Amino acid sequence: MDFYAIPQHAIEVFDQVHQLRVTVHDLTGRLWAFLPPERFRHDIPQCNAVKYSQRGEKCLAFEGVKLQEQLIEQPEGRVHICHAGFVEWVVPVISDQSLQMLLFAGIRLPARDLNVSIKPTRLPVLGQVNVSKVDESESIQIFEHLHQLAARLKDWLVQLKSIDLPRKADDASTAQRRIIIQTFVLHHHTHEQVYLSQLAKVLGLTESRTSHVVQETFGRSFRQLLLEARLRTAMGLLRHTDMDMRQVASRSGFEDLRHFHRVFKRETNQTPRHYRLMRD
């Protein structure tokens, strides 16, 4: 399997096995380039119904900074019932006593025998709900598998950190070239000036041949790969930081604020400001 596809594959397998949805709150930004933007949002219709109601502030506070502070003291995570009355499983990824990310799995309705650590005053669920109940035995299994997913992602991040670009890769196989190109984009997309000639030098190929290799390998141009990586980084900064727009543009590798706004609007059909306002 493609090394860079492991996070998405591991999460999708969990989703399929348990018929749940995993949401990642990545506080370091290290996964932003490898997962689709919607994976970082609680983008479930039932959750959205609550977030955009009068209960929204309580919901966001419950899942936000307060939870992060609590889970530093609860490294094993917890099973809780949110303000909408749904069951969620939450597991933190902690390294060097620092919270790196939170994995949320949900949603279900609680069966009578379910044990949870937190149960706010339950409010009526909004709208039609087609969500099954979960009992204690199934909850224990889900919680264990979420821990295994967290360990898998943590190990993958350690491996990612150890990857470095070779000085020359003219004898690389197709699979190796794929990793080299992805690693190059990962390491360089936040720089404003990135050229195909730089990648060509790493691969030991001509610029023309490098352009063909990228297109054949990914079905997209080198320019498109850079743009996708920059947009994902920008979305992560908009979701998880309070940087001003000029800082977000610069940290994501865009030439200037005007260029950032134009490209973001063209590719997402919304402005960076609107995207930030919709974050959870």
How confident is the model over 89-116, as a mean pLDDT? Answer: 91
Kindly report each contact of residues 261-264 with a partner whose C-beta sits within 8 Å and lies 24 or more positions away, as own/partner: 263/227, 263/231, 264/231, 264/234
Closest by CA position to 154, among listed 15, 28, 21: 28
Residue 64 lies in a domain: yes
Range of the domain at 118: 3-162
Q: Is there a single domain that holds both residue 121 and residue 216?
A: no
- Out of 41-45, 102-106, 188-192, 268-272, pick the least confident: 41-45
Q: Is there a single domain that holds both residue 179 and residue 262?
A: yes
Q: Is there a single domain that holds both residue 22 and residue 112?
A: yes
Q: Is there a single domain that holds both residue 117 and residue 208?
A: no
Instruction: For the full predicted model, state whether its pTM sits above 0.75.
Output: no
Q: Is there a single domain that holds both residue 122 and residue 253?
A: no
CA distance 231 to 169: 28
| Token representation of residue 279 | 């974050």
What integer pLDDT is reported at residue 263 of this predicted model?
96
Q: Give, in degrees to the nearest 5, the angle at Cα 129 between 54 and 148.
A: 95
Q: Is there a single domain that holds both residue 129 and residue 197?
A: no
Residue 168 lies in a domain: no
Q: Which residue has the higher pLDDT, 263 or 71?
A: 263
| Token representation of residue 272 | 């960076």
Residue 242 has pLDDT above 90, yes or no: no
Residue 168 has pLDDT above 60, yes or no: no
Residue 169 lies in a domain: no
Q: Is there a single domain that holds both residue 115 and residue 157?
A: yes
CB 171 within 8 Å of CB 180: no
Residue 271 lies in a domain: yes
Q: Is there a single domain that holds both residue 145 and residue 202?
A: no
pLDDT band at 14 (very low <50, low <70, confident <90, very high): very high
Longest dimension (CA), the chain: 66
CA distance 46 to 123: 13
CA distance 171 to 103: 40
- Out of 117-131, 183-197, 254-268, pick the least confident: 117-131
Handedness of CA 181, 183, 184, 190 (dihedral sign): positive
Q: Is there a single domain that holds both residue 59 and residue 154?
A: yes
Residue 257 has pLDDT above 80, yes or no: yes
